[in-house]
Amino acid sequence: MINTITYKGSVYPQFQASGNASRFVKAFALEVCVGNGYDVGANRKEWAFPGAVIVDPAINSKYDAMNLPEDVVDYIFSSHCLEHVVDWVRVLDHWSTRLRSGGVLFLYLPDFSQKYWRPWNNIKHVNCLNAEMITAYLEDNGYKNIFASGIDLNNSFTVMAEKV
C-alpha cells in the first residue's frame, strides 16, 4: 500500500511530509562526500550525514548557513536547506570559502513540482530553486564535474560539484 497525501488537488507520497529528506539521497552522497565535512541544515542529529559536523541552529546555535566553522573541509552536504535561506547565492558563496580545492558540494533540494514546497504555500520556504539555476551558479563560480539529477520520487533533485 502506498500512503498518500493530497495538497491543492495533487496527490503525493506521504513520506514527503515526514521530514528527513536526506535519507533518499545519502547513498549517493556517501560515494563522493568523504573525509571531513559539514552537514548544513540537518535539523536533527539522527538525520545528519554520517561523520559530518552538523551546522544547524536547531542543534548548535553557534553556527548557521551563513556562519560555518572556520575549518576548510573536504565536502559540504546539505539537504532541503537552501529553500529556507533569504539569499541562497550569498550562502553558496560563503560555503565555497569553506571548501578546499577539489572539495565536493552536494545539494539535495525540493523541486517546484511539489506544490506544498512553494514559498507562497509554505511560509518556511523563501526560494524556489531548480537544477538549472544551481548548475549555472556553480559553472560561474569555480566548480567542475557538475552533475544534476532529474526530479526523484521525493519531488526533489540533486546537484553535486567539485570546487576548482
* pLDDT of res. 35: 98
Q: Say how far apart CA 94 and CA 108 lie, in whole Å.
A: 18
Averaged pLDDT for residues 15-41 = 96
pLDDT one-digit tens code per residue, 64-92: 999 999 999 999 999 999 999 999 999 99
pTM here?
Answer: 0.96
- How long, in residues, is the chain? 164
Strands 156-163 and 99-110: antiparallel
Cβ atoms 131, 157 nearer than 8 A: yes
Element housing 133 (H / E): helix 131-140
Instruction: List domains and CATH numbers for the chain.
Output: 20-163 (3.40.50.150)
Amino acid, res. 125: H
% of the chain with per-residue pLDDT over 70: 100
Neighbours of 117 (CB within 10 A): 22
